[in-house]
A = this chain, B = another copy of it.
Amino acid sequence: MTVSKAAEKSSEKPGDAAKGRKDATEAQPEALQLGELSEQLGYVLKRAQLKVFENFLRCMASLQLTPAQFSVLLLVEKNPGRNQTEVASTLGILRPNFVAMLDNLESRDLCARIRSTNDRRSHILVLTDKGKAVLARAKKLVATKHEARLNDLLGQANREALIEMLSKIANEF
A residues near B, CB below 8 A?
1-4, 6, 12, 14-17, 19, 29, 31-53, 55-56, 67-68, 70-72, 74-75, 77-79, 82, 85-87, 89-94, 97, 139, 142, 146-147, 149-150, 153-154, 158, 161-163, 165-173
Contact B142 A154 (CB under 8 A): no
Other A-B contacts than A2-B72, A15-B171, 17 sampled, CB-CB below 8 A, are A1-B68, A4-B93, A4-B97, A14-B91, A15-B90, A17-B90, A19-B89, A33-B78, A34-B75, A35-B78, A37-B71, A37-B75, A41-B150, A42-B52, A42-B67, A44-B167, A46-B67
Task: Give the docked Cα–Cα distance between A158 and B165 (Å).
Answer: 8
Our pick among B1, B32, B38, B77 for the contact of A167 (Cβ within 8 Å) is B38
Q: How far is the CA of A35 from the CA of B50 in the complex (A)?
A: 23
Q: Are A49 and B43 in contact (CB under 8 A)?
A: no
Separation in Å of the A27 CB from the closest CB of chain B? Answer: 12
B residues less than 8 Å from A38 (CB atoms): 167
CB within 8 A of A47: which of B31, B55, B170? B170
A162 vs B31: C-alpha distance in the bound complex, in angstroms? 25
CB < 8 Å neighbour of A49 from B2, B39, B42, B55? B42
